[in-house]
A and B are shown apart, each in its own frame.
Chain A
Amino acid sequence: MLPFVLYFIAALVIGFHLYELLSLVAYSIPINPLELVAFFGSFGLLIAAYISLFRPRTAAKVALIAALAIWSFYAPGIVNLMRAK
């Protein structure tokens, strides 16, 4: 159950954060394409959570790919934040 709980909670929290960022489009703020990639990545994490109930190792591979997709958005943000500090 550990992989399911981990992937599921991570997918929900990350997905919600990205949903909030994407919803800013309603205020004419352009979407960063990497936000979309990461958003689909959080879906991948959610799918991995359900796969983990049947095939934990396959789920780990799916989760890793999804996590890398999500990092494509967060990593540049973290680097910029570090530089700003």
Chain B
Amino acid sequence: MLPYLAIALLVIATFYSALVSFRERPKDAPPTWLFPARTRRPARIAVGLASLLIFGVIVTWVIRGPQGSRDRTVRFLVPENYTGWVRVDFEIAGSAPLPVEDGQTVTRIPPSGKLATSSTEQFGIEKDRYFFYSGDTLKPIPKSGPGRLIWGRLNGEEQSASGKRTYEEFFVGTEQQYLSQAKARSGTNSP
């Protein structure tokens, strides 16, 4: 959504500025929306004060970062070229906890696509990020838009011998791969 909005605004700003830059304003013509007059002093003061407020809010937001918010920011690292379902089981006794880097939980998925951790599942406004990893190199995985490779994100709860535990799943691959996998899965689950 944001990239499309940015491009739309860029197109409008480009056309408007080009029009005003290259078109001559008729002499002694009254101000129009295309060639507005210089803004009045009270309006300039109001803009200055409003700007200070907006920049103050932005700076505070950048400085506070994710710690001050109720966002869930998990970084999923998936092996490069991995295709298929990924599953993370939480609260598994004896498993390693998930590391936290720069306020973000790092979930490094092994080549099997299945990870067990002793950490508890995080909840909040989802701002997860997905990456393919190969050694130390990371490549972002699009989770929306035309090149989307993340599908079927879900979380659930399971009853086992050791009690209740939560899990998360998502599919990595193209839409076609996801649909055929989902079909096969529902076929397997049906009686």
The answer to whether A and B assemble together is yes
A residues sitting closer than 8 Å to B (CB atoms) are 1-4, 6-7, 9-10, 13-14, 16-17, 20, 24, 26-29, 45, 48, 50, 52-57, 59-61, 63-64, 67-68, 70-71, 74, 78, 81, 84-85
- Report whether B20 and A57 are in contact in the complex, using a CB–CB cutoff of 8 Å: yes
What residues of chain B lie closer than 8 Å to A63, measured between beta carbons? 13, 16-17
Q: For residue A45, which residues in chain B have a CB less than 8 angstroms away from its CB?
A: 13
Q: Taking CB as reference atom, which chain B residue is nearest A4?
A: B47
Residue of B6, B43, B131 ringed by the most chain A CB atoms within 10 A: B6
Sort chain B's interface into a size bin. Answer: 35 or more
| Most chain A beta-carbon neighbours within 10 Å: one of B20, B35, B39, B44 | B20
Q: Does B125 touch A at the CB level, under 8 Å?
A: no
Total inter-chain residue pairs, C-beta < 8 Å: 100
A61-B17 in contact (CB<8A): yes
* Chain B residues, Cβ within 8 Å of A74: 6-7, 10
Report how far A74 CA is from B148 CA in the complex, Å.
19
Q: Check A64–B17 contact: CB distance below 8 A.
A: yes
**Chain B, 115-138, CB within 8 A of any chain A CB:** 129, 131, 136-138
Chain A residues contacting B156 (CB-CB under 8 Å) are none
Once A29-B140, A60-B20 are accepted as A-B contacts, the answer to whether A3 and B75 lie under 8 Å apart by CB is no
Candidates A16, A54, A70, A81; contact of B10 at CB < 8 Å: A70
CB of B20 within 8 A of CB of A17, answer no
In the complex, what distance in Å separates the CA atom of A38 from the CA atom of B26? Answer: 34
A17 and B146 contacting across the interface, CB-CB below 8 Å: no
Q: Across the interface, which residues of A come within 8 angstroms of B17, CB to CB?
A: 7, 48, 59-61, 63-64, 67
Question: Would you list 12 pairs from A and B whose C-beta atoms are within 8 A, ordered by A residue?
Answer: A4-B39, A7-B17, A10-B10, A24-B140, A27-B75, A45-B13, A53-B38, A57-B20, A57-B35, A67-B10, A71-B14, A81-B146
